[in-house]
Structure 1
Amino acid sequence: MLGIKTRAALREEFAPHADYGFFGPGSVAWKVWSHPTSYILGFARAVTIEHLDPNLAAAVVQAGGVRYRPHTRYGRTMRYFALVAFGATEPTAKAADVLVKIHSKAIGNDPVTGSTYDANKPSSQLWIHMTAWHSILYCYEKFGPGRLSPHEEAQFWEECARAAELQTIDPATVPRTREDVIRYFEDWRPHLAASEAAQDMVHFILGLDVALPPDMPAWQKRAMSPMLYVLRHGIISPYPQYMRQMCGLRQGPLLDMLIVPPNKIFHAAMHRSINLSMLLMRMIAPAALEIAMPVLLDIPADNPITMTPREAQAKYGYELPVHAHQDLRARQHDRVFAKGEAPSDEGLIESEQHIGAMS
């Protein structure tokens, strides 16, 4: 059994980051993303409603990673988002560059729309980006400390746009106010589709036990069932009604109301105890631990500077993501659409040292 450790003792276990990344101490991104509401509630809300984009659902289902190695896929995704929020500039810029390679193989034919999909498509990347940042803030407000001040919220959305520079997104298309974010999701609503595959993936992820270590004893998973029930219905409660209907989820306003207090209590306890926070992260996303803990433990960076992603890309010699690896993307396109072959795994092996192991 793990013992309780002081913050001073825990600081000895984690190396400082080389710098403060893209946000740094005092940023609203650090304040919101470091709160425990982001680890499960916000993150799981994002990765479930993402599947209402039929292109994304097709990419996920045809790749198969979420279904056949959910714990690893969940951990790799959390590590990448932790890098964006907390990581030093060079390893995060590298991970973002490698992610373009990974996404180059996420192309194919969408059986729902009859069109093709490409995970590097800027509009698809913006959908993923906005569902993540919006869900993290929504759950922070609902189950954590509450609404940000107007000044903090304005800064949060500016930082959201800054983070978008790490993807193929045009930062000018990123909403920068609450009203613009609401309008963005309303504008996307006609593009959403609740296919059988999308519903299946949403229900699969909402089981939550799929994010637990695959070697966890069955009795431990059963013991966690009450907590998972509380968390699962907490994730659903911020879903708008039309998304619940599309996902085939039935949860009424009474349960929405009753599920809030236990979730607030749970996350307040996690926020007060760094040991509990670390235990949870080690359980569901061990690959993200070394990225998040220096920030959670207030370990000073070796070099106390921040930069924008564009500055980091220029400094470390990476192309803008939208232009990166065009040769590879063209080869993948030729394999899939011209030759009818499966895309190559180029980039996947390389990604393990940057985003975490696949096995």
Structure 2
Amino acid sequence: MPATASSGAPSTDAPSGLARVTEPIRSRLHYTFNGQRTGTPEWVSDLEKGDDPGFFGPGSAVWAVHGGMSTIPAGVRALLVQALHPGALAGVHDHSRYREDPLGRLAGTIRWIFTVSYGSQEAATHASNWVLRLHEKVSGSYDDRHGVSRDYKANDPDLLAWVHMAFADSFLAAAMAWGDPIPGGPDAYVREWAKAGELMGVQDPPRSVAQMQAQLAAFDDAGTLERSARTDDVVKFLRRPPLFPVLRAGYPVLFNGAVSTLSPRHRELLGLRAPHVGPLDLPTRAPAGAMLAGIGALLGPEPVAAKHARLRRARLGIADPA
């Protein structure tokens, strides 16, 4: 989800009628994504620091996918897919405060994504190691679909791989539905974002769409994925998260758009389908696209994080395209 922010400079002009209408929405969007209604979070400004160009740059598939508004439904989709793995779901259920502080958890996830995408290599590595240290405390047990008790740790290789691929598959699917063309195509994004998987301890992350789809299917073929009461709770929460009232009206459009990009098998496992009248499904992608275009008009065409990354790269003498 894009963490954008205004400059924080006060305006000397009286707000126009349109601004009076849109500013509350813009303010709530900023707070939802980065925890601040105005100004730039310090961690975003810090992306100017560092003495290397970062793992990715302008013209990369990662910047194209993570720089667009499609990241908003992509984040919802990723959480839905992650919830199909009972081990990943147990970690969230047992150790996360997503119900009490969903925006705080969202802001933390955005911070990691954008630090890896736009920060220096040193900053990206440091941020990933910090998350891995937090994961060391996340362990427990759960009953699988056959009633067998299984232990889990958040840093288990299979859980790390599932979370990485749920993220990559979701952000790619949303970008292909609503984003701009991806430099190098979908395979380039999977190959580039494999670096993030490596930073998070994923062993041999997929480097093509075909590899990723095969590895995702392997979890299902092994009988790992399931729909449980906990899964239904997550779906119910994601249908109606505790958003600001001004954002609630539009959210179902984005949720339905996210569901439309799920694979048929994952939709089946989650018990989800498009809004419908009798046997006829209602359109979801076009309304979601219109909603995302409106959000983009409010927040700007590029994340502020990318702008600070450009400043770092310019300081290092790297000539990037405008």
What TM-score does the superposition give when structure 2 sets the normalisation length?
0.75
**Shift in Å, 1:300:** 2.3
Higher relative contact order, chain-length normalized (CA < 8 Å, sep 6+): 1
Out of 32, 44, 47, the position equivalent to 2:79 is 47
- Report the equivalent of 2:306: 295
* Contact preservation (8 Å) 1:175, 1:181: yes
* Contact preservation (8 Å) 2:116, 2:127: no
Structure in which a larger fraction of residues adopt helix: 1
Out of 125, 130, 134, the position equivalent to 2:165 is 130
Out of 250, 260, 284, the position equivalent to 1:237 is 260
Match runs of 1:348-359 below 5 Å = none
**Shift in Å, 1:152:** 3.0
> What CA distance in whole angstroms lies between the structure 1 residues aligned with 2:317 and 2:129?
24
Match runs of 1:70-219 below 5 Å = 70-112=102-144, 113-145=148-180, 148=182, 151-170=184-203, 172=204, 174-189=205-220, 190-207=223-240, 209-210=241-242, 212=243, 216=244
Report how many residues are paired: 270
> What CA distance in whole angstroms lies between the structure 1 residues aligned with 2:111 and 2:291?
23
Of stretches 78-87 and 126-135 in structure 1, the one that deviates more from structure 2 is 78-87
Could you report, residue by residue, the CA deviation over 1:157-191 in whole angstroms, capped at 9, with x for unpaired residues?
22021221211112x2x222222222122111131
* Contact preservation (8 Å) 1:144, 1:268: no
**Shift in Å, 1:253:** 7.3
> What CA distance in whole angstroms lies between the structure 2 residues aligned with 1:125 and 1:249?
25
Could you report, residue by residue, the CA deviation over 1:232-256 in whole angstroms, capped at 9, with x for unpaired residues?
1111111223322322324367876
> What CA distance in whole angstroms lies between the structure 2 residues aligned with 1:36 and 1:92?
22
Kindly tell me: are residues 176 and 303 of structure 1, through their superposed partners in 2, closer, same or farther at Cα, counting changes over 3 Å?
same
Could you report, residue by residue, the CA deviation over 1:109-143 in whole angstroms, capped at 9, with x for unpaired residues?
11335110010012211111111111111011112
Correspondence 1:22 to 2:55:
yes
- Give the partner amino acid of 1:159: E
In structure 2, the gaps of 5 or more residues are 1-19, 27-38
Kindly tell me: are residues 304 and 156 of structure 1, through their superposed partners in 2, closer, same or farther at Cα, counting changes over 3 Å?
farther
Of stretches 233-242 and 55-64 in structure 1, the one that deviates more from structure 2 is 233-242
> What CA distance in whole angstroms lies between the structure 2 residues aligned with 1:104 and 1:297?
31
> What CA distance in whole angstroms lies between the structure 2 residues aligned with 1:298 and 1:125?
27
Out of 89, 98, 102, the position equivalent to 1:66 is 98
Kindly tell me: are residues 228 and 69 of structure 1, through their superposed partners in 2, closer, same or farther at Cα, counting changes over 3 Å?
same
- Give the partner amino acid of 1:294: A
> What CA distance in whole angstroms lies between the structure 2 residues aligned with 1:231 and 1:17?
32
**Runs (4+) off by over 6 Å:** none
| Root mean square deviation of aligned Cα | 2.9
SS, match of residue 99 in structure 2? helix
> What CA distance in whole angstroms lies between the structure 2 residues aligned with 1:270 and 1:225?
14
What TM-score does the superposition give when structure 1 sets the normalisation length?
0.67
**Shift in Å, 1:304:** 5.4
- Give the partner amino acid of 1:268: A
- Report the equivalent of 1:342: none
- Give the partner amino acid of 1:20: P
